[in-house]
Amino acid sequence: MDDDCGPDDHLGNGTVSLAAVRQRGTDRQAVQLYSRKNHARGTLHVSLTFTPNVSAELVVQNGR
């Protein structure tokens, strides 16, 4: 457990692909995290849900 009262520590940087979640509506991914100097820091497991913007879809369908 983190005992400091300040801002959260930087865990690292990673990249999440949104392609699968847009196609299926949900996705789970294990994202590799890297330090600013590109050293492996660990893995972050994420669950994603995609909810389309219905009003934007109507605009595309109606050509407006």
* pLDDT tens digits, one per residue of 29-64: 999 999 999 999 999 999 999 998 877 666 666 665
Q: Is residue 39 part of a domain?
A: yes
Distance CA 29, CA 15 (A): 10
Q: Is residue 51 part of a domain?
A: yes
Distance CA 5, CA 64 (A): 51
Reported residue count of the chain is 64
Q: Which domain holds residue 52?
A: 19-62
Q: Is residue 13 part of a domain?
A: no
The model carries a pTM of 0.64
Q: Are the C-beta atoms of 46 and 28 separated by less than 8 Å?
A: yes
Q: Is residue 30 part of a domain?
A: yes
Q: Domain tally for the chain? A: 1
Q: Is residue 10 part of a domain?
A: no
Question: Tens digit of pLDDT for each residue in 18-27?
Answer: 999 999 999 9
Q: Is residue 33 part of a domain?
A: yes
